[in-house]
Amino acid sequence: MRSRYTAFARGDVDHLLRTWHATTRPPVLELDADLRWTGLEVLATSGGGLLEARGTVQFVARAVRRGRPEELHEHSLFLREQGQWRYVAAVP
C-alpha cells in the first residue's frame, strides 16, 4: 500500500501497473498532472499476514489540486500473487 502511494506521488506508472492484480489492471494508466499527493494515513488493516493470500487496507490519501485540498478514502483489497501483493480493487 505504501509503495503504491509513493508511486502515485512520484508518478511511477510502471510500479503501479506492476503492483496491480492482473484481473483488474487497466491496459493504460494516465495520472492526473494537476494532483499533488501530500499524505497517507492508514486507518486499518486486516489479513495480509506472512502465510495469508488476502488482505485489506483502509486509508485516507490527501492531495492538492489547483490549490484545493482533496481526500481519497478507500478500503482496498490486495491478493498475494507469485509472492507479491497486488492491488485488486476498492471494496465496500
Domain of residue 44, CATH code = 3.10.450.50
pLDDT of residue 20: 97
pLDDT of residue 36: 97
Length of the chain equals: 92
Q: How much is the average pLDDT of 5-9? A: 97
State which residues form the domain around 27: 2-90
The model's pLDDT over 11-48, given as tens digits with 9 standing for 90+, comes to 999 999 999 999 999 999 999 999 999 999 999 999 99
pLDDT of residue 43: 98
Q: Confidence band (pLDDT; 50, 70, 90) for 1? A: confident
Structure-block grid coordinates of residue 36: 499533488
Does the pTM exceed 0.75?
yes
Residue 60 near residue 1 (C-beta atoms within 8 A): no
Chain center to CA of 78 = 9
Number of domains in the chain: 1
3 state DSSP class of 26: coil
End-to-end, the C-alpha distance of the chain in Å comes to: 17
